[in-house]
């Protein structure tokens, strides 16, 4: 098992196939946006559904902070498609069959068996800025991510607010 990534570490690059069959590469997305990468245990379970819907409901806020949300679990592409449709999710869910990406990030398992729920905020330089690990507080992942993105974008906002003065 790889060591858990911490704030300040470089995020490992990875490739996974998106539901539409195209290739998702973390490094490609980081050229344009900050990334909110969240690992979750399973599609269509109560906590995971609440978390995904909260990311959906706040999606416009993430876009304002130049961030893209990406969810990862070891569920199949077909399961992800159903989950996305059921909840009208505007962001991509990636299938990490075999948990290779989960291992690269060092996402721990609860009780040694249940895949963990961990959110990483990765800035455009590829640096992990924040890690939140909590199985029991799925909605805090979203709130905390927004706060960190506000900090990352803080200087830009201050510059913009002075532009009109």
Q: State the catalytic residues.
A: 48
Contact 126, 27 (CB under 8 A): yes
User: By three-state DSSP, how is residue 100 classified?
Assistant: helix
Residue with tokens 């906002």: 157
The three state secondary structure string of 15-75 is: EEECCCCCEEEHHHHHCCCEEEEEECCCCCCHHHHHHHHHHHHCHHHHHHCCEEEEEEECC
């Amino acid at each position: 098992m790889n060591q858990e990534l911490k704030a300040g570490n470089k995020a490992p690059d990875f490739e996974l196939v998106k539901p539409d069959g195209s290739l998702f590469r973390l490094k490609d997305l980081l050229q344009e946006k900050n990334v909110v990468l969240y690992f979750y245990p399973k599609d269509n379970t109560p906590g995971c559904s609440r978390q995904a819907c909260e990311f959906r409901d706040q999606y416009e806020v993430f876009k304002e902070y130049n961030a893209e949300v990406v969810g990862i679990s070891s569920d199949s592409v077909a399961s992800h498609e159903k989950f996305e449709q059921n909840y009208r999710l505007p962001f991509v869910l990636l299938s990490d069959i075999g948990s290779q990406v989960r291992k690269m990030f060092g996402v721990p398992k609860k009780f040694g068996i249940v895949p963990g729920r961990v959110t990483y905020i990765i800035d455009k330089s590829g640096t992990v800025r924040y890690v939140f690990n909590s199985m029991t507080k799925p909605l805090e992942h979203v709130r905390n991510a927004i706060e960190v993105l506000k900090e990352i974008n803080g200087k830009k906002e201050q510059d913009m607010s002075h532009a009109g003065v």
